[in-house]
Chain A
Amino acid sequence: MEIDKNKDISRRSFFKSVSIGLAAAISFILGFPFIESVVTKTKKVANKIYSKLAPVRSIPNSFAPIENPSKLHFVQTKEDAFIKTIAQEDVWVVKKADDEITVFSPICPHLGCRYSWNEDQKLFICPCHNSVYTIEGKVVSGPAPRGLDTLPIKIKDEKLYVLYERFEVGVPQKIMIGN
């Protein structure tokens, strides 16, 4: 009887180890993917298609007669996870001459608000935290960590095309999102 009891106790302690060991193994195997699936980046697609903005000639000169950049609208296919929509977007275009054009992303590099042009002060001003930029996109004052982001452009058949990209905000470097 004594031996039986001892056997029983050792059996119990063995099954305790089995339970704890396997419960740990199951949690470990499952824990990893479950956390990974909600914290790691899912697939992001960078936009690779240039959108047509306007004929180059029709864009007014941004320095003469008065200093004034143009806000141009266009339509692009937007990929948002599994939803594709045709969405309107806009950019700021600064034209010095027909072959000297800069296009700025409309998003403030500070924290992602949309800035606008102040006609009195001749400056770009972001309403969120008062980041201020010149017409060339340089930071004048405010918390912005870098100047306005320029976008790649292309001129084909005398029409201006822009590649609408987005960049990480709040950092001094210009890092594209989705690549």
Chain B
Amino acid sequence: MASKIRLWFNERLSFGSMFQSAFDEDIPGGSSFFYALGSATLFVFALQVLTGVWQLFYYVPTVDHAYDSLSYLRLSVPYGWLIQGIHYWGANLMIVLIGLHILRVFVWGAHKKPRELTWLIGILLLLLVVGLVFTGAALPWDERGYWAAEVGTSIAGTVPFIGKWLIEFLRGGESMSQLTLSRFFVFHTAILPGITFLIVAFHLMAFRKYGSVGPWQKSKRLKTGAFWPNQVGKDLIISALILILLIGLSVYSPAPFTGRADPLDASFQPKPEWNFLFLYQTLKMFTGSTELIGTVGIPTLIILILVLVPFIDRKKDFNPLKRPGMMIGGFVFITGIVILTVIGYYSKPPGSKSSAKIVKKTEAIKLSSSALMGKSLYDAHACSVCHKMSGQGGVIGPDLTKEHKRGRSKDWIITQIKSSKKHYPHSIMPSFTMLSDMQLNNLADFLLSPHAKAPSALANSNLPNPPKPSSNKTQEPPNNYSPGVNATLATKLTSEALAKLNPPGAAADIIGNVAHGALLFRLNCESCHGVKGRGGIPNPGSFLGQIPSLNPISKKLFSKSPQEFANNIDRFIQHGSLPAGRNPVLKMFDYGDSHTYTQPEIADMEAYILYLNGVNRAKIEVPGSAPKQFFMFSVAIVLLVVVILLIIWAFDKKKN
């Protein structure tokens, strides 16, 4: 029966001969792992198609839901993290593989006659992949993708004559909008993949027509090896390794959540992904009237060089040693791109340079150990809420930058901190009686140090390790304001405040960007809630006597569920809250209701506050099987197959 069915098919469509024409071929010099780069690229492309289509089950291309739909896929769909992860890392890896493939072909001289067209079709494929990477990056409509698309389309706009037309074609209008996202979506999921399919077919047909070029040594070319199964086997070994690598990257280094696109956000510093860094760096070299060289000239030149390779390198010699000119040219070309990428990677946008300067300045001041302690007390008690020092801080109290030049004694300063009213009966400065004598001494030493500079909080731009909320013992409870204060009371006050507030806003449902949230927190929240939200800032007239700590946060607000935690704190950030007590000096403002911050910004700050309390806002809720377990499982499957193959191999060897 089975043979009858086979016969029926073979009479009409002979799979056997189709397979033969596709796979039966002798490779001069035999199979090689070097030749696996092309098929590895093809394998990753197939993975991209598969994971791309699968993401369409969940993704929606609208500006208000694209980011949320992708967050939902990654966190709430079984194996969504894996599908998105493979697609994200696959795109990166594909660029690397294509680069290596081109390099391999170049060194072996496989672009020479009669294979010039195969090379050109390959360059076209490279450009298509670059287009796919560019359009794909915008689809999450997150901060990074949005700004990359904004900059990228603007660059297209500088093309002479057709620039204006091009930018409108890409964006669907003059500015970034829903139409831009729709267009990028169509380019990325329909037009470019369609063309790529076709061109890949051409590339393979052209390859099949002339076969592998083989080694350049005549002696080695005499022996031939079969494409099927020898080369296919090697290709699959590389493919399996690539799959394990992609799964590993998805598990251990997932793409960051960069926050929902926020066109109003000026504090986000866009920088391209690594694959466009060399262009970004060249772009920076050309400003003003020469800008066109960077935006259009250099990319065109690079493409032109690649296109011209088979026409420049026309000698019949394949041996790279006999083509020194080409090899040096290729080396310079690659080194140039690598160096520009590295410079681009380490270069910082102008804004962050100044903060680096602050670090240097602060570090340059030599403080006594006591004054150093005083400095950290100054930061921890957020003196900068009211006082300015070296240009940073509030204006409620006097500027303290030149305090050491005012000729005041240490005792005077200690009394001033402990009880300002003794010096100025109408002073509004809180009495910091909770400080020990030693701490007061330290603070006075800090204030009396010459050249005391700005507190380091702003300069500290690296994300610290998440502190354990319970280990936070350095904070001394300021028991002078409300002697009876304890945790239960604080919790009760929190729940009372919570009950008065309206429901959470949109930000609570957005997965924020922790790193960006840390920056926003330092700029906006730290002055009241303390460094890293550790609290301790006095709030005279309130029942608690101080501004609540966010690290650790009130038990009433804390939740292990990121969504619930975000909901709880979001209500305070959106609607503000008046602390319980007779006449609190400071209150929480309604940052959301008053539109002081955008919802994506609030989401970022919330992600950071969760992070401070040891909760990951981007926690995977429905993982399928746990990511790490799945990685182990994949490795185990491949190892199992390898062991079986080794047994077969050993058995065969014995037989012969």
Residues of A in contact with B (beta carbons under 8 Å apart): 6-7, 10-19, 21-26, 28-30, 33-34, 36-38, 40-43, 77, 81-84
A18→B236 contact, CB < 8 A: yes
Q: How far is the CA of A84 from the CA of B450 in the complex (A)?
A: 57
Contacts of A6 in B (CB 8 A): 656
- Is A10 in contact with B233, judged by CB distance below 8 angstroms? no
| Bound-complex Cα distance A77 to B506 (A) | 12
Provide the residues of chain B in CB contact with A23, threshold 8 Å. Answer: 236
A36 partner residues in chain B, CB cutoff 8 A: 78-79, 624
Asked whether any CB of chain A lies closer than 8 Å to the CB of B369, the reply is no
A15 engages B229 (CB within 8 Å): yes
Residues B44-88 near A (CB distance < 8 A):
47, 50, 54, 57-58, 65, 68-69, 71-72, 75-80, 82-83
Cβ-defined contact, B503 with A77, below 8 A = yes
Q: Does B437 contact A (CB under 8 A)?
A: no
A12-B65 contact given A22-B236, A25-B638, A82-B71, CB 8 Å threshold: no
A33 touching B79 by the CB < 8 A rule?
Answer: yes
Shortest C-beta distance, A1 to chain B (Å), equals: 12
Those 3 A-B pairs whose CB atoms lie nearest each other, nearest first: A33-B79, A15-B233, A43-B76
How large, as a class, is the contact surface on chain B?
35 or more
Residues of B within 8 A of A19 (CB): 228-229, 232-233, 236
**Is B634 an interface residue, CB under 8 A from the partner?**
yes
Q: Chain B's nearest CB lies how many Å from the CB of A170? A: 25
- Nearest-CB distance from B631 to chain A (Å)? 10
Residues of A within 8 A of B233 (CB): 14-16, 18-19, 22
**Cβ–Cβ contact B243 & A17, under 8 A:** no
Residues of B within 8 A of A26 (CB): 236, 239-240, 243
What 1/0 flags go to B158-201 for Cβ under 8 Å of A? 00000000000000000000000000000000000000000000
Counting chain A CB atoms within 10 Å of each CB, the highest count among B75, B229, B232 belongs to B229
Q: How far is the CB of B248 from chain A (nearest CB, A)?
A: 12
Residue on A with the closest CB to B72?
A82
Please determine whether B652 and A12 come into contact, CB atoms closer than 8 angstroms: no
A14 contacts across to B, CB distance below 8 A: 233, 645, 648-649, 652
A21-B641, A26-B236 as given contacts; A11 in contact with B230, CB under 8 Å: yes
Contacts of A28 in B (CB 8 A): 637
A-chain residues with CB within 8 Å of residue B234 when the two chains form the complex:
15
B622–A25 touching, CB < 8 Å: no
Given contacts A26-B239, A28-B637, A40-B624, contact A18 B645 (CB under 8 A): yes
CA of A15 to CA of B233, assembled, Å: 5
Chain B residues lying within 8 Å of A38, measured Cβ to Cβ, are: 54, 57
Q: Using CB atoms, name the residue of chain A closest to B71.
A: A82
> What residues of chain A lie closer than 8 Å to B645, measured between beta carbons?
14, 17-18, 21
Could you list some 24 contacts between A and B, CB below 8 A? Answer: A10-B652, A12-B226, A14-B233, A14-B645, A14-B648, A16-B233, A18-B236, A22-B233, A25-B637, A25-B640, A26-B239, A26-B240, A26-B243, A30-B50, A33-B78, A33-B82, A33-B624, A37-B54, A37-B80, A40-B78, A40-B622, A42-B78, A43-B75, A81-B69
CB distance from A77 to the nearest CB of B (A): 7
Give the CA-CA distance A83 to B67 in the complex, in Å: 11
The interface residues of chain B lying within 8 Å CB-to-CB of A25 are: 240, 637-638, 640-641
* Option from B47, B69, B633, B641 in Cβ contact (under 8 Å) with A24: B641
Given contacts A14-B652, A19-B232, A24-B641, 4 further A-B pairs with CB under 8 A are A13-B652, A15-B229, A33-B82, A33-B83
Which residue of chain B lies nearest to A77 when distances are taken between CB atoms in the complex? B503
Whether a CB of chain A sits under 8 angstroms from the CB of B615 is: no
Write out the residue numbers on chain A whose beta carbons fall within 8 Å of the beta carbon of B77.
37, 42-43
Q: Which of B50, B69, B239, B652 contacts A22 (CB 8 A)?
A: B239
Residue of B nearest to A40 (CB): B78
Chain A min CB distance to B452 (Å) = 50
Looking across the interface, which residue of chain A has its beta carbon closest to that of B640?
A: A25
- Bound: A82/B511 CA distance, A: 11
Which of A6, A14, A25 has the most chain B CB atoms closer than 10 A to its own CB? A25
- Residues of B611-654 at the interface with A, using a CB-CB cut-off of 8 Å, are 621-622, 624, 630, 633-634, 637-638, 640-641, 644-645, 648-649, 652
B95 part of interface (Cβ distance < 8 Å): no
Q: Report the bound CA distance from A43 to B73 in whole Å.
A: 10
Interface centre among A11, A82, A83 (most CB of B within 10 A): A82
Which single residue of chain B is at the shortest CB-CB distance from A10?
A: B652
- In the docked arrangement, what's the CA distance between A7 and B649, Å? 12
Residues of chain B within 8 A (CB-CB) of A13 are 652
Q: Which residue of B lies closest to A25 (CB)?
A: B641
Asked if residues A10 and B57 are in contact (CB atoms below 8 Å), the reply is no
User: Which chain A positions have C-beta within 8 A of B503?
Assistant: 77
Q: Are A18 and B82 in contact (CB under 8 A)?
A: no
Cβ A82 vs Cβ B622 within 8 A: no
Tell yes or no: B509 within 8 A of A by CB. Answer: yes
Tell me which of A10, A22, A29, A30 has the highest count of chain B C-beta atoms within 10 A of its own C-beta. A22
| Cα separation A27 to B47 with both chains bound (whole Å) | 11
B624 partner residues in chain A, CB cutoff 8 A: 33, 36-37, 40
- Which residue on chain A has the smallest CB distance to residue B226? A12
Known: A15-B230, A25-B638, A77-B503. A84 touches B509 (CB 8 A): yes
Residues of B within 8 A of A43 (CB): 75-77, 621-622
CB-CB nearest in chain A for B247: A29
Query: Per a CB cutoff under 8 Å, which of B78, B506, B644 touches A37?
Result: B78
Q: Which of A6, A11, A18, A34 has the most CB of B within 10 A?
A: A18
The residues of B that contact A22 with a CB separation of less than 8 Å are 233, 236-237, 239-240, 638, 641
Q: Hey, which chain A residues are within 8 Å of B226, CB to CB? A: 12
Alpha-carbon distance between A146 and B237 when the two chains are bound, in angstroms = 58
CB distance from A67 to the nearest CB of B (A): 38
Residues of B within 8 A of A83 (CB): 65, 68
Provide the bound-state CA to CA distance between A16 and B65, in Å. 48
CB distance from A43 to the nearest CB of B (A): 4
Residues of A with C-beta under 8 A to B57:
37-38
Q: In the complex, A132 Cα to B190 Cα: how many Å? A: 50
Are B634's CB and A29's CB within 8 A? yes
CB distance from A59 to the nearest CB of B (A): 25
Residues of A within 8 A of B649 (CB): 14
Q: How far is the CA of A26 from the CA of B47 in the complex (A)?
A: 11
Q: Which residues of B contact A24 (CB under 8 A)?
A: 641
- Shortest CB–CB separation between residue B652 and chain A, in angstroms? 5
Please report the C-alpha to C-alpha distance between residue A21 and residue B240 in the assembled complex, in whole angstroms. Answer: 10
Distance in Å: Cβ of B14 to nearest Cβ of chain A: 21
